[in-house]
Amino acid sequence: MKNSLKVERAKKDMTQAELAKLVNVSRQTINAIESGDYNLSTILALKISKVFQVNVNDIFLLEAKDL
Amino acid sequence: MKTNYLLPQKFKTIGIVLLVPTLLMAILFLFYDFEFSFLDFRVFSIINDPIMGDAEHFKFIDDNITNELIAVFAILSLVFIAFSKQKVEDELVADIRLKSLLGATYINYLVLLFCILFFYNFTFMWVMMFNMFTLLLFFIIHFNFKMIQLNRK
């Protein structure tokens, strides 16, 4: 799964730590999601999309290998 | 994310504090046959099968409970350390916890299989005794190693 979390954060000038606080996880979790080391839950994906006021699909995208 | 069945964070400290004297007592007991004389009690046993004599069931017997206390404290302290919440207990930590438990279970039973095949008689009894604690021990090592790796990122 690809994601544009880093881009969305940059648009809002938000640090990993700030986003982590808003969605109630650790900064390390945001870092692991951004670097593709961890596939997050649906709940967390929805929470993150709510913070950036976009659809989940605008941030998280399935790759060919996921299908 | 809600993670159920975990102990409060302070239990980790309690576990560490409890583990230190327990380890000392275990070393003294195992290598020097040390027993506290004030721990001689009449205890209830469901099965008591001594080396000499017949097995007894559901009877009160005289026993020094030093070894029982060491085992109880060792299990409690390891459970406290293993299953207390992290400072931030989120879904990534829950994922690492689950993977560590799986990894520790595999390692534990691989070691046990090896010991079943190659260790015999009294040595195997020692193996079984340590095996009571190794699953928790392997889990603690694996989980904390992964958490240190995560926190470095």
Q: How many Å lie between the alpha carbon of B124 and the closest alpha carbon of chain A?
A: 41
- Same domain for B26 and B45, yes or no, is yes
- Same domain for B81 and B91, yes or no, is no
- Same domain for B100 and B59, yes or no, is no
Interface test with A, best of B1, B92, B148, B150 (most A CBs within 10 A): B92
A25 neighbourhood in chain B, CB within 8 Å: 88, 90-92
pLDDT of residue B51: 84
Q: Closest Cα to residue A53, out of A11, A1, A2?
A: A11
pLDDT of residue B45: 95
pLDDT band at B3 (very low <50, low <70, confident <90, very high): low
For B70-100, b/e burial (b = at least 16 CB within 10 A) is bbebbebbbebbbbbebeebbbbbbbbbeeb
Per-residue pLDDT reduced to its tens digit, A16-46: 999 999 999 999 999 999 999 999 999 999 9
Q: What is the mean pLDDT of chain B?
A: 94
In a domain, A67, yes or no: no
In a domain, A20, yes or no: yes
pTM of the model: 0.89
Domain boundary among B85, B107, B138: B85
Cβ of A43 within 8 Å of Cβ of B1? The answer is: yes
Cβ of A28 within 8 Å of Cβ of B150? The answer is: yes
Other Cβ atoms less than 10 A from the Cβ of B151: the count is 11
pLDDT of residue B2: 59
Interface test with B, best of A16, A22, A24, A25 (most B CBs within 10 A): A25
Domain boundary among B62, B85, B108: B85
- Say how many domains are in chain A: 1
Q: Closest Cα to residue B144, out of B109, B101, B113, B91?
A: B101
In a domain, A32, yes or no: yes
Q: Closest partner residue to B153 among A25, A28, A44, by Cβ?
A: A28
- Same domain for B13 and B78, yes or no, is yes
Per-residue pLDDT reduced to its tens digit, B45-95: 999 998 888 899 999 999 999 999 999 999 999 999 999 999 999 999 999
Domain boundary among B59, B85, B111: B85
Question: What interface predicted TM-score (ipTM) does this complex get?
Answer: 0.89
Give residue B130's domain range. 87-153
- Say how many domains are in chain B: 2
SS3 state at B84: strand
The tokens of B6 are what? 């975990």
Closest Cα in chain A to B90: A25
In a domain, A38, yes or no: yes
Average pLDDT over residues B36-46: 94
| DSSP assignment of B4-70 | TTPBPTHHHHHHHHHHHHHHHHHHHHHHH----GGGEEEEEEEEE--SSS--EEEEEEEEE-HHHHH
Lowest mean pLDDT among B3-12, B59-68, B69-78, B117-126: B3-12
Give residue A38's domain range. 2-62
Give the phi and the psi of residue B46 in degrees, each rounded to 5: -80, -50
A35 neighbourhood in chain B, CB within 8 Å: 153
- Same domain for B79 and B6, yes or no, is yes
- Same domain for B98 and B70, yes or no, is no
Q: Closest partner residue to B90 among A26, A31, A35, by Cβ?
A: A26
A32 neighbourhood in chain B, CB within 8 Å: 92, 150, 153
Place of tokens 């260790």: B119
- Same domain for B78 and B120, yes or no, is no
- Same domain for B101 and B46, yes or no, is no
CATH number at residue A43: 1.10.260.40
In a domain, A56, yes or no: yes
